[in-house]
Structure 1
């Protein structure tokens, strides 16, 4: 009765999918999924089959859509990569800051795939010292990390020392002085490169921001390189349009207009993703009509 679904699920696994991923995405327990596929599940097989049928249908639909480029190497991302290389090779402190939606996070996330490169994202909930150090320990895959600040910092230093690695902290503007100071000391004690990435507040904070200048002087003086990314460039937008296969003059003009908005690259990606869905429904390439319709839909017009 459920042979077709079982066979299709097996085919996706043979194609590289993992049963553990299927279980997570369908909210079916791994044990139940295994028993269903083997024909030995004693529970409600129809319920499991229904969940798998929906998952398979969604997978087929996603496979027929134009996929958003996972990463586009733009002139701006090359500048960011260069700054990251410098921090890692030289073992120094670098700050990358600027406006939202200009590609900072995408670039550092792509770079973090390199060996001995660890990325954490500071959040309001993890801005205190213990929580931030715990995030670093998790990124370093430290087993049995202690829950005391001093011991945890020492474990992190032992793990980092001699690696010639790079620690990247995104959204670093969330971090208070004491956390930034601890990261500075970790960098000096281990010789790894450290990159703090965020909005203009991180640079303002490190430079003292008009207050506590004496306290922040030690931090600010350690910054070997500062890279400000204020806006996306026309060349950035052209690179993204190329990656999406958008060649028409009118279509590219619309994409460039999106690039002049706040949060430019994020808006471009969101808009083109929807335009691709609309284009797929008519079995055609992304056109001016699809991009314009996506813009209206996203803006609620």
Structure 2
């Protein structure tokens, strides 16, 4: 079943894992046990309840969970730094850049993304494309105008 995964040092990331039924969680547990591959389940707080079972009946599954990390509590600690790193990466097309972000530009992106990284991605993509037209460059005005066009 998992021979191809053995000794690969791979990581399996599962987003919205709280939506997985018990059987799928059990399959992931077996993949981990047979291959040694690391598995990260990301999801809402309901995920822990799903791993335990409504009456604690999934002890075999839950006992395999190594840790639970509530990111909402840690968000404030690194929010500004994370935002800057993500914005810098988006603006430089994933390349590592030594150029500091113009504070006014970064502030405009932060204001209009409202902490939503999916919205930030759409905003950066649209502003970058628009700024390339006639080489007009990126400006706070352009960010403001493009943000008005995004669907909320």
TM range (shorter): 0.7 to 0.9
Higher share in strand: 1
Q: Which residue of 2 aligns with 1:292?
A: 144
Q: 2:51 aligns with which of 200, 206, 230?
A: 206
Q: Distance in 2 between matches of 1:273 and 1:173?
A: 30
* Separation of aligned partners in 2, 1:292 and 1:227: 36
Q: Give the match for residue 255 of structure 1.
A: 109
Alpha-carbon contact 2:109-2:120 (below 8 Å) kept: yes
Distance 2:101 2:32 in 1: 46
**Deviations 1:49-74 (Å, cap 9, x if unpaired)?**
xxxxxxxxxxxxxxxxxxxxxxxxxx
The count of corresponding residues between Structure 1 and Structure 2 is 140
Using the size of structure 1 for normalisation, the TM-score is 0.41
Higher relative contact order (CA 8 A, sep 6+): 1
Matched, 1:224 2:66: yes
How far does residue 259 in structure 1 lie from its aligned partner after superposition?
Answer: 4.6
Gaps of 5+ in 2: 93-99
Q: Deviations over 1:218-252 (max 9, x none)?
A: 22221113233334711111123333268333222
Matched, 1:234 2:88: no
Any idea what SS the aligned residue of 2:42 has?
strand
CA RMSD in angstroms, aligned pairs only: 2.6
Larger radius of gyration: 1
Q: Equivalences for 1:133-282 in 2 at 5 Å?
A: 156-208=1-53, 211-214=54-57, 216-230=58-72, 231=75, 233-243=79-89, 244=91, 247-261=101-115, 264-282=116-134
